[in-house]
Amino acid sequence: MILSILTCIFCTNTQTEKQETEPVAFDYNVEKFADLGILRYQVTDWDSLSLKQKQLVYCLNEAALYGRDILFDQNNRYNLAIRRTLEAIYANYQGDKTAKDYEEFVVYLKRVWFSNGIHHHYGEEKFLPGFSETFFFDAVKSIDSSLVPAKAGQSVDDFLSEITPVIFDAALFAKKVNQDSNVDVIVHSANNYYGENLTQQEVEKFYADMKNPSDSTPVPFGLNSRLEKKDGQLVENVYKIGGLYAPAIEHIIYWLEEAAKYAENNQQKLVIDLLVDFYKTGSLKKYDEYSIEWVKDTESVVDFVNGFTESYGDALGIKASWESLVNFKDLKATALTKVISENAQWFEDHSPVAPQFKKKSVKGITAKTITATILGGDCYPATPIGINLPNSNWIRKDFGSKSVTITNITEAYDKAAAGSGFNDEFVCCEHEKALITQYGTQTDNLHTDLHECLGHASGQLLPGVDPDALKVYGSTIEEARADLFGLYYISDPKMLELGLLDNPEAYKAEYYKYMMNGLITQLSRIEIGRNIEEAHMRNRSLIAHWVFEQGRKDKVVELLRNENNKTYVVINDYDKLRTLIGELLAEIQRIKSEGDFKGAQKLVEQYAVNVDLTLHKEVKERYTQLNIAPYKGFVNPVYEAIKNKKGVIIDIKITYSEGYAEQMMRYSTNYSPLPTYN
């Protein structure tokens, strides 16, 4: 990456005094450790819900918390053993808690909680403890042996021999998800979606043989199972009652059935009943039935996601992680997102992609803005700010999709970051700073709406194209497609016409922030010497670097340095930038629609993966000086059911005082039904 010297006076980064912010009663910041910041979010307008709606939310919240162990086990087969060992030490340690080893032990445990395992939740690499093997060995030996989660018949010493290298050896289970196309991604991924001694070739053939190219309504093969080899044959160990993860699924079903008693309407009750049937049978045909009916439920105020949903945790994009999010409509903000969904066909018709890749009829996009009440599984502690589901291409095409933006989460991010000094450090120019200050939150939320509501719901595969044709590059390409759709339209005059923006220059805040993040600031999230692994980060890098390179001749976007040798993004031509975004959107939609694996591979490997080491070191140093945690996650509110003498729930009380470690230990005590080894 070639950098010029930043000499223009108007772009010189001069530190300005931080504005004093008014104190707020609600404390969004909880604590910070390693590269992580823990926040809390507020459930705004809780009292606008009826008692019946609150009872429904409470039951759905409980169902959301019982899947936590599933995700830990999916991420790596030793995660539960490690978590339970660390928690036993944390609860029972009698040694010097001011010692460096113990302090590092606490940080490591908090990181394991945050990442739902021993691999970084975003970077995918295994993080190593700062305490010594000797400390770990002595700490385990110091607690009651009954608290050590050893396998049946295994001594504590044998347990330590097995588990210690899993924690301390950097080469063992090095990456949770390995997307390197030059290696066998099944063999080199540390997740637990596949049994031991399986190869990528075996997995791909197994699922390819199950597919019928002429089936226009294919079920999502392999979504809810671990593929294992038994007696030389490949078999699916399905997540269901009587199958894998049954102890947790039993609790989830119980609370879903309780929730059904408080359903707002018959359609919502049908949705819950179908989800319960899916959990009982493991039938993916039943899962599709549930997904279709879930899309149809547009009237309920309370809504939820609960199940095996996203496939980012599998390098092949086949297996789904468990997640849950419970929420209710933000009725005022939903009025704006409704405008987007009502105009979906206009956006599809006017997109810059080739006509054969567009949907002739965009069906059933339901967009809403929501208030989250609980985060669970792969949505906790780190959570998305927007969701578009279901993921099935044919269901999207025939029945539509639901798109949501989570406003109380984005509000928490913004409030917690107030006065951090980030814009002064990384934004090049006063004009861009002013736009970001005034419109940054608005355009962030609008881009999320466009990404989720229109981007993921746009376009179509050509007849006969395998939805999994892009393999390890599928997730990156899909996220880039949705981001590009949102970026292309956020600068369109249609935004002003529809009343979604009120200033024709507001979109520049999002363009600048996106390019700055993709080219520079997201590097703060990666360890020095590593490349980009996570699909969303690859997507942003792909877009930013492709646009940067294609516009280099005309200096559309530049990376320049000021007199202090600090690098900044400078955008010289916003109109040309939008043109380039449209060109890339057209190409990525073609790749998706045609299932062009080589085209996807070329784009991702050339623009999305590699990191400029010099720039990386600079960004890390600047970020460190700001004392900002690159990654954020949340603690959930605590819900207490208030009952009368007859045991009937008469109210649900919310409190926000629970700390991070306190919550994690409570969840491990009260919501941990799985065996250590599954």
- 209-230: pLDDT as tens digits: 998 888 889 998 999 999 999 9
- The residue type of 304 is F
Say if residue 6's pLDDT is above 60: no
pLDDT grade for 24, boundaries at 50, 70 and 90: very low
- The residue type of 211 is K
Exposed e or buried b per residue across 114-133, where buried means at least 16 C-beta atoms within 10 angstroms of its C-beta: bbbbbbbbbbbbbbebebee
d(CA 633, CA 139): 29
Distances (CA, A) of 407 to 157, 410, 420: 50, 5, 21
Per-residue pLDDT at 522:
95
pLDDT grade for 443, boundaries at 50, 70 and 90: very high
pLDDT grade for 19, boundaries at 50, 70 and 90: very low
Cβ(449)–Cβ(337) below 8 Å: yes
Beta bridge partners of 526: none
Cβ(535)–Cβ(315) below 8 Å: no
Show me where the domains of the chain are located.
4-15+40-45+330-634, 77-186
d(CA 167, CA 420): 34
Mean pLDDT across the chain: 93
Distances (CA, A) of 173 to 116, 165, 521: 15, 10, 28
Q: Does the CA dihedral 269-274-278-281 come out positive or negative?
A: positive
Using alpha carbons only, how large is the chain's radius of gyration in Å?
A: 25
Q: Taking residues 323-346, what's their average pLDDT?
A: 90
Per-residue pLDDT at 314:
95
- 592-651: pLDDT as tens digits: 999 999 999 999 999 999 999 999 999 999 988 888 898 999 999 999 999 999 988 999
